[in-house]
Amino acid sequence: MKQIKFNPENKDILTYGEALGPVADIVDQEEADQYLKEYIKYTQKFLDEKPHEEGKTAEEICKINIGYWSGWCSNETAERILKLFDCSHPIFGKKVPTPKEAFEAGKKLAEL
């Protein structure tokens, strides 16, 4: 099986889809660790030019992005992503919500 590489075309700028889409196909820890390491390096380049306004590190940003991306995947894929990348969805945390839980979380956010 061919290992999934971060930014295989070595582009200077990636879309979120290009950077995050492949995480849905990663199935083992070694591959996830390698992918995250390269994604962090890529993100760090931008932080070196302009630090994050809230002081987040490249690793924190990458894990937030991956966690968020998991929400667009099937429940099975989302659970795998959250575990392999040791991240959380920024709204739902480490668990995939039921439709009712997702709706209630959305209502709660709307009240803020």
Structural domain boundaries in the chain? 16-110
pLDDT at 39: 98
What is the block-wise mean pLDDT of the chain (112 residues), using blocks of 10 residues?
89 96 96 98 96 94 97 95 96 88 86 80
In terms of Cβ atoms closer than 10 Å to its own Cβ (0-12, 13-18, 19+), residue 4 is middle
The model carries a pTM of: 0.90
pLDDT at 103: 87
pLDDT at 1: 62
3-state SS, residue 68? helix
pLDDT at 3: 87
Task: Compute the distance between CA of residue 67 and CA of residue 77 in angstroms, rounded to an integer.
Answer: 11
CB 105 within 8 A of CB 91: yes
pLDDT at 69: 97
